Structures are given as structure tokens and as C-alpha cells.
Amino acid sequence: VSNHGSEQVVARVNARLASFLAHKRAQADLLSPRAAELVDAITALTMRGGKRLRAVAIYAGFRAVTDASASAAMSGVPEGVLQLAAAIELLQSYFLIQDDWMDDDEERRGGPSVHAALAQRHGQAKLGASLAILAADLAVGFAFELLQSTEFPGQRAIQARLTFSEMHFEVVCGQQLDLLGHPDVTLTHHLKTGSYSVRGPLQLGALLGDASAEQLHALERFGRPVGLAFQLRDDLLGTFGDSRATGKPAGHDLREGKNTALVAEAREMLTEASRARLLRVLGQRDASDADIAALTADMERSGVRARVEARLNAHIEEAERALDQSPLSTSGVALLRELLGRIVVRDH
């Protein structure tokens, strides 16, 4: 058990997700027994893993703006935190289902992606894709339903709903820029991941805790670099990560042709011969393991990996500075530091 209660949050959020999805399955079953299939698909993906970093971020945002003694007096995790955390995890499932289909990814969290599982079951790729999109539709509907039924203090509900809508808007635009291979990888990351992985959840938790404008601002200053660090860590894992931990094959992002921060740096930094290899291998689904290994070795040798790790560390330092002398509670700051550690030290 962690010092700051985040393990307890994860366990409670998992329980809430399981009970919410069981309730929705029963509702679908009443409409038609076949309708439960889509809820089952969401449940399989949502409950099979996931680090629940966004759920912890909501809790951290809440704690950071709530008086420590008041937090201590509360028994456990507030209801609103559980609701919002379940909402953001289902928003995440919705994005993952769509992303995996868009990227033709067959695996996710150590099992088949939703469109792959449904295509397999029904024996048709297009039908599997269509049903996966419908499963994603249900998941985003559930996320909005949970958001709408969360009780916020005073007039904070309006701000929270706007934050949620903005977050949704930014992620979708970020995904669009990603699909179109937009050259500004930092902008794409800021929109696609930063928004709903860190900044958004922190703001939502803080609004639930009736944060002051100064507190919201401090969390924004912290959240922005953490979001960028989060994505750089993802990029490093997608290329150099251990497939047993990430649940995806090694070199996955290279075979996918993803325009990661590593690829952007590699285009600048590699020698001519290595760059030729990059251009030949990038986006080739059937690239050999030897080619992938040679390319990642090139990226190590030429300093691409070190450069991206240095940028990641600069973001971490910026985030840590934002916590110094901030208007946030001591226990909240401890939790935010723990969150930062989980995000940047993770192996999947």
C-alpha cells in the first residue's frame, strides 16, 4: 500500500468500474440478450489492465486543493472522485478502441484489441470494426453519463463539464493531426495525450474540491509538462520497451510508422546510412526483427534516445518546480509527486 492512498484509489475505482459495467450489462440484456455483447467488449478491455493513472490524477487534483485535515477526516475516497475516475477510464477505453482500429493494432493490454476480437468472433473484418465503433460509442456515452451524475460544489459543475468537453475535443483533434502526420509532434502530443491524461483529470479533481483560481493555475503549470513527459515516456516504451511489460511487440511504433518524438529527432540526428534505414523500415509492418534491432541500435548510438530522455527530464524538472511553494496542500503535493513517479518511471 502506498503512502499517499493511490493504491486504495485504484482498487476502489476498479470496483466501481466493475459494478457500473455490470449494471449496464443488465440494462443491455433487458433490451436484447445480444446487446450485452458490446458491454462485454468494453468490460473485457477496461478490466484487463490499465494503470488507472488518470483516476489517480483526479484523486491527486482533489487532494491537492482540499484541506489535509478535512481529507484525513473523510473515510476513504469521495464518491465524486470515484464517479469521475470511472468516467475518465471509460473515456480512455473509447479512445483505445478507436485508436486500435485506426492503427490496425491487433493487441492491447495483453489481449486482442476490441475490433480484432469482434472480427474474429463474427468472421468478418468490417463487421468487427463496425461493432467495435459501436462499443466505443457506448463507452463514451457511459463516460458522459457518469460525468453528468457527479455532484460538484456550488457552480463548479458547469466548469467541470466544459473541461470534459474541451478535453474530448482536444484529444479528437490530436488524433486527427496524428493520422495526418502533422509535423509538429509536440502539438499533437499536447492535444492527444496531455489533455486527457494529466491536465484534464487534475482540473476535474480540483473542481470537485472547489479549487481557487490560484490552485487551478498551479495544477495547470504542473500538468502541462507532466502530460508531455507522459507522451515521451510512451514513445520511449513503444520503441525501446520490453514487450513482456508493454503488451506490444518490440519496435511496435516503428513498424506502425508512428510519428513519435524519437522519429522526429532521428530524422535530424541519424547518419545518412542510418537515416536511409529509418526511411526504409518505418511503417513496414513486416520489417524483420534484425532491421528493427539495427534501427534501435542506431537511435541509441546517435544520441536520439538520450536526447528524448533529456527532454523528458527537463519536463519532470519543470513539473517539480511547479510544486515548490505552490498553493496546494502538503498531502496533495506528495500525491502529485507520487503520480509523477508512476508516470515517468513506468515500464508499460
Residues that bind a second copy (CB under 8 A): 27-28, 31-32, 34-35, 37-38, 98, 101-102, 122, 127, 130-131, 133-134, 137-138, 140-141, 144-145, 148-149, 158, 161-162, 165, 168-170, 172-173, 175-177, 179-180, 182, 184, 187, 191
The minimum distance between CB 140 and a second copy, in angstroms, equals 7
The minimum distance between CB 184 and a second copy, in angstroms, equals 8
Residue 228 or 336 having the CB closest to a second copy = 228
Burial of 241 by CB count in 10 Å (0-12 exposed, 13-18 middle, 19+ buried)?
buried
Rounded Cα distance, 253 and 233, in Å: 13
The minimum distance between CB 111 and a second copy, in angstroms, equals 21
The minimum distance between CB 136 and a second copy, in angstroms, equals 8
Rounded Cα distance, 41 and 167, in Å: 24
Question: Interhelix angle for 6-31 vs 330-345, to 10°?
Answer: 70
| Strand boundaries in the chain, DSSP class E | 107-108, 111-112
Question: Do the Cβ atoms of 161 and 147 come closer than 8 Å?
Answer: yes
**Single-letter amino acid code for the residue at 289:** D
Residue 148 or 330 having the CB closest to a second copy = 148
Task: Give the residue from 167, 135, 136 showing the smallest Cα distance to 54.
Answer: 167
Residue 104 or 347 having the CB closest to a second copy = 104
Question: Do the Cβ atoms of 271 and 302 come closer than 8 Å?
Answer: yes
Residue 157 or 287 having the CB closest to a second copy = 157
Residue 32 or 75 having the CB closest to a second copy = 32
Residue 170 or 298 having the CB closest to a second copy = 170
The minimum distance between CB 172 and a second copy, in angstroms, equals 5
Q: Which residue has the cell 518511471?
A: 345
The minimum distance between CB 134 and a second copy, in angstroms, equals 5
Q: Which conformational region is residue 212 in: left (phi greater than 0), alpha (psi within -120 to 50 degrees), or beta? A: beta
